[in-house]
Amino acid sequence: LYWANPMSWALQGLLSNEFTSSKYDNVGIPPESFLAIRGFQTGREWVGYCFAYMIPFTLLCAFILTQVLRKVRIEPERAIVKKKNVAIGRITKREKDENFNLPFTPVDLTFDKVVYEVKASQGDETLRLINEVSGAFMSGRLVALMGSSGAGKTT
C-alpha cells in the first residue's frame, strides 16, 4: 500500500535527489546511511524510478477524469417554488391592462453647473459638496456616475 501512494514516490524521489547531490560529500555521516536509517531507498536511480511511476500515474488519473467527466453530467439545481393556497379570481382584461400597462414617456435630462452647498455644523460657513457639475442623461442609455472616493457621488 505504501508503494501505491504517489506521495511516497514523490518523497522518495525528492530525498534521493537531495541526498545524492555533491553538497553532502564532506559531512560527518554519509547521506546513504542517513536515508537507510530512516527507511528510505538509497541511490541516484530512485529519482528516475520516481518519474517512471509519477508520469504514467498522472496520465492515468487524467484519462480516468476525462472519462468520468464525459459520462457524468451534473444538472444545475432547480428552485422549488411552493404555491400558496390563494384564492384565484378572474381578472378582467381592463384590470389586467390597468396593472401592467403603465404609461411611460422617455425623457432626456441635461443639467449645467449644478452647485450644492450645506451649512457647516460648527460656525457660519458653508460647505460646497457639488461644485458646478454638468451632465446629460439620455433615455434608454445606462449612465455611470464616476469619481474618486469622497467626491460626493451619493449626494
Going from the first residue of the chain to its last (155 residues), give the mean pLDDT of each consecutive group of 10, the final group possibly shorter. 89 89 77 85 89 96 94 80 63 62 82 89 86 86 79 68
* Length of the chain as a residue count: 155
Confirm whether 12 is domain-assigned: yes
Provide the number of structural domains found in the chain: 2
Q: Are residues 10 and 65 in the same domain?
A: yes
| Radius of gyration in angstroms for the set of CA atoms belonging to the chain, rounded to a whole number | 38
Is residue 43 within 8 A of residue 21, CB to CB? The reply is no
Write down which residue in 45, 71, 97 finishes a domain: 71
Confirm whether 48 is domain-assigned: yes
Q: Round to whole Å and give the CA distance between 154 and 150.
A: 9
* DSSP character at residue 130: E
Q: Are residues 13 and 57 in the same domain?
A: yes
- Count of other CB atoms within 10 angstroms of residue 124: 6
Confirm whether 149 is domain-assigned: no
Confirm whether 152 is domain-assigned: no
Grid cell at residue 153: 457621488
* DSSP character at residue 95: H
Confirm whether 99 is domain-assigned: no
Is residue 15 within 8 A of residue 39, CB to CB? The reply is no
Confirm whether 63 is domain-assigned: yes
Look up cell 528516475; give the residue.
48
Is residue 120 within 8 A of residue 126, CB to CB? The reply is yes
What pLDDT is recorded for position 124?
A: 86
Indicate yes or no: pTM above 0.85.
Answer: no
- Domain range for 133 is 105-140
